[in-house]
């Protein structure tokens, strides 16, 4: 008789965005005339840019000719893309990377979900709360999180609350932790850490021999100075941090799939006898068994992001969405709502009015304005009483959604 991985039974609810889809689908069936505006999942709406499409098409054409056809690609990704990543995303920040430290992948979601596989089961895992659910749920599935307590927290994980009371700045853990997931600019709160604030985490990780799993998927949205685009801007971080980046949010690759992960060669983990091992080699070992890389045309499309034309185009994409973010911020502030984020991030984190809980506010917006957002509690217990709205819809829909919400009384 086949047995299941019972850790899956510890997951207390659906994946948040699947749950929202279910509820919205049900609502649409019951209200076929409702024109729903989706500002829930952080999915982009603008098409791929011209440079990217040209790169993509060229890649596809090459696959159709014997002289340029490609079979399996290099495990870490094609050098032509890795070189551009290093030259454009890291060298200008004063960060030196070796090409073997870059791993091209099909998304920051799979990489942040899979990375825990190279770490032992006894590691203590810390997450900010609220948090991108993938970090928590991948550890629960692996058996590292234990049962969920009455307070909505898995008992084996360490939660670092980020709320308006602490300006959304997580405190260092009170008990030692081994793996620390940080996402900045933050999903879901849209808040950021300054260099000094992030440096405290690097120092903590160095002192405690911990590893920081740093999700920088939204770095392109940083507008202000002194906000690090990469954790490696902090001295010593290459010894304690893995960084995840993505082309989804800056270049519209949510449906195209391309991202990359940096695993520095300095990074070490230990066996139970205290012998050290290269995490870069372990991650490489994992992916040679489980992954055959991102398709050639997609990597060719990603390379085109780094052309002069591509760089201009993605700047425009980011400013388009940031204009939406400003509209959302202004409209909700005029309604007297307390809002956070949306300045260095495409996410606006809203305190629900009148102590409504997150799902109540979700229902209110869906029923009365036909606008979908994400209930904050779906990101963790400290998200209760908050709500996330994304700036990734079109300008027209964003304005329309804000008009509809402005017509509500809370
Ligand atoms: C989100 O809405 O939090 C993101 O779109 C999820 C993701 O990138 O997987």
Separation of CA 393 and ligand 1 centre (Å): 14
Q: Is residue 321 part of a domain?
A: yes
As a whole number, mean pLDDT of residues 351-376 equals 96
The per-residue pLDDT for 304 is 98
Separation of CA 232 and ligand 1 centre (Å): 24
Separation of CA 130 and ligand 1 centre (Å): 14
Q: What CATH number has the domain bearing residue 382?
A: 3.90.1150.10
For 41-67, write each residue's pLDDT tens digit: 999 999 999 999 999 999 999 999 999
Q: Which of 306, 339, 364 is the last residue of a domain?
A: 306
| % residues pLDDT > 70 (the chain) | 100
265 with 369, same domain? no
The per-residue pLDDT for 137 is 96
Domain containing residue 245: 53-306
Residue 29 has pLDDT above 90, yes or no: yes
23 with 89, same domain? no
For 55-103, write each residue's pLDDT tens digit: 999 999 999 999 999 999 999 999 999 999 999 999 999 999 999 999 9
Give the number of other Cβ atoms within 10 Å of residue 258's Cβ.
23
Ligand 1 atom nearest residue 43's Cα: 5
Q: What is the DSSP string of 71-119?
A: -S--TT--HHHHHHHIIIIIGGGT----GGGEEEES-HHHHHHHGGGGS
215 with 119, same domain? yes
Separation of CA 224 and ligand 1 centre (Å): 23
Q: Is residue 99 part of a domain?
A: yes
292 with 324, same domain? no
Separation of CA 16 and ligand 1 centre (Å): 10
Ligand 1 atom nearest residue 187's Cα: 3
Label the pairing between strands 276-278 and 157-161: unpaired
Distances (CA, A) of 140 to 78, 125, 180, 214, 271: 33, 11, 15, 19, 22
Of the chain, the end-to-end C-alpha distance in Å amounts to 54
Pocket test for ligand 1, best of 16, 106, 109 (most atoms within 8 A of CB): 109
297 with 332, same domain? no
221 with 335, same domain? no
Which pLDDT band holds residue 154 (cuts at 50, 70, 90)?
A: very high
19 with 85, same domain? no
Q: Is residue 114 part of a domain?
A: yes
Q: Is residue 1 part of a domain?
A: no
Separation of CA 41 and ligand 1 centre (Å): 6
As a whole number, mean pLDDT of residues 173-193 equals 97
319 with 215, same domain? no
Pocket test for ligand 1, best of 45, 137, 185, 187 (most atoms within 8 A of CB): 187
38 with 77, same domain? no
| Angle, vertex CA 363, rays to CA 218 and CA 396, nearest 5 | 55
Residue 12 has pLDDT above 90, yes or no: no
Which pLDDT band holds residue 202 (cuts at 50, 70, 90)?
A: very high
Separation of CA 42 and ligand 1 centre (Å): 5
Q: Is residue 229 part of a domain?
A: yes
Q: What CATH number has the domain bearing residue 170?
A: 3.40.640.10
Minimum CA distance residue for ligand 1 atom 9: 109
293 with 334, same domain? no
Pocket test for ligand 1, best of 17, 219, 256, 258 (most atoms within 8 A of CB): 17
Residue 15 has pLDDT above 90, yes or no: no
Give Dmax over CA atoms of the chain in angstroms. Answer: 66
Give me the residue label for tokens 């690759």: 253
Looking at the structure of the chain, the number of domains it has is 2
Distances (CA, A) of 229 to 117, 193, 224, 352: 26, 10, 10, 30
Q: What is the mean pLDDT of the chain?
A: 97
Q: Which of 306, 327, 346 is the last residue of a domain?
A: 306
Q: H or E segment at 348?
A: strand 347-351
Separation of CA 69 and ligand 1 centre (Å): 34
144 with 208, same domain? yes
Separation of CA 216 and ligand 1 centre (Å): 13
As a whole number, mean pLDDT of residues 200-211 equals 97
Minimum CA distance residue for ligand 1 atom 4: 42
Rounded CA-CA distance 190/211 in Å is 23
322 with 395, same domain? yes
Q: Is residue 343 part of a domain?
A: yes
Bridge partners for 350 per DSSP: 339, 387
Minimum CA distance residue for ligand 1 atom 6: 42
As a whole number, mean pLDDT of residues 274-293 equals 97
Residues with Cβ within 8 Å of 308's Cβ and at least 6 positions away in sequence, in order, are none
Minimum CA distance residue for ligand 1 atom 1: 42
Return the beta strands (E) in 1-53 as ranges: 37-38
Q: Which of 288, 306, 324 is the last residue of a domain?
A: 306
Closest by alpha carbon to 128, among 62, 212, 37? 212
Residues flanking ligand 1, CB < 6 Å: 41-43, 109, 132, 187
């Amino acid at each position: 008789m086949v047995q299941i991985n019972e850790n899956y039974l510890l997951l207390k609810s659906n994946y948040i965005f699947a749950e929202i889809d279910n509820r919205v689908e049900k609502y649409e069936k019951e209200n076929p005339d409702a024109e729903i505006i989706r500002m829930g999942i952080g999915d982009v709406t603008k098409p791929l840019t011209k440079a990217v499409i040209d790169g993509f098409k060229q890649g596809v054409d090459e696959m159709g000719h014997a002289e340029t056809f490609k079979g399996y690609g290099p495990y870490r990704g094609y050098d032509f893309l890795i070189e551009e990543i290093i030259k454009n995303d890291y060298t200008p920040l004063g960060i030196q990377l070796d090409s073997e430290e870059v791993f091209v992948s099909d998304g920051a979601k799979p990489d942040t979900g899979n990375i825990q596989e190279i770490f032992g089961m006894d590691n203590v895992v810390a997450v900010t709360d609220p948090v991108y659910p993938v970090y928590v749920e991948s550890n629960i599935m692996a058996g590292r999180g234990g049962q969920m307590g009455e307070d909505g927290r898995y008992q084996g994980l360490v939660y670092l609350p980020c709320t308006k009371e602490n300006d959304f700045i997580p405190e260092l853990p009170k008990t030692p932790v081994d793996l620390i997931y940080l996402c900045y600019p933050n999903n879901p709160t849209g808040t950021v850490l300054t260099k000094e604030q992030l440096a405290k985490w690097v120092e903590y990780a160095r002192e405690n021999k911990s590893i920081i799993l740093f999700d920088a998927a939204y770095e392109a949205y940083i507008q202000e100075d002194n906000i690090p685009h990469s954790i490696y801007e902090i001295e010593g971080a290459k010894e304690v941090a893995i960084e995840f980046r993505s082309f989804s949010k800056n270049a519209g690759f949510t449906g195209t799939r391309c991202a990359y992960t940096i695993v520095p060669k300095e990074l070490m983990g230990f066996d139970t006898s205290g012998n050290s091992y290269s995490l870069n080699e372990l991650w490489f070992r994992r992916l040679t068994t489980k992954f055959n890389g991102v398709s050639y045309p997609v990597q060719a499309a990603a390379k085109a992001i780094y052309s002069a034309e591509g760089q201009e185009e993605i700047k425009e994409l980011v400013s388009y969405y940031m204009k939406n973010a400003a509209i959302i911020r202004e409209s909700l502030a005029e309604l007297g709502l307390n809002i956070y984020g949306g300045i260095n991030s495409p996410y606006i984190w809203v305190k629900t009015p009148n102590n409504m809980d997150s799902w109540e506010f979700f229902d209110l917006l869906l029923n009365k304005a036909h606008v979908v957002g994400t209930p904050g509690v779906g990101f963790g217990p400290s998200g209760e009483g908050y709500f996330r709205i994304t700036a990734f819809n079109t300008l027209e829909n964003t304005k329309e959604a804000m008009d509809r919400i402005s017509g509500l009384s809370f």
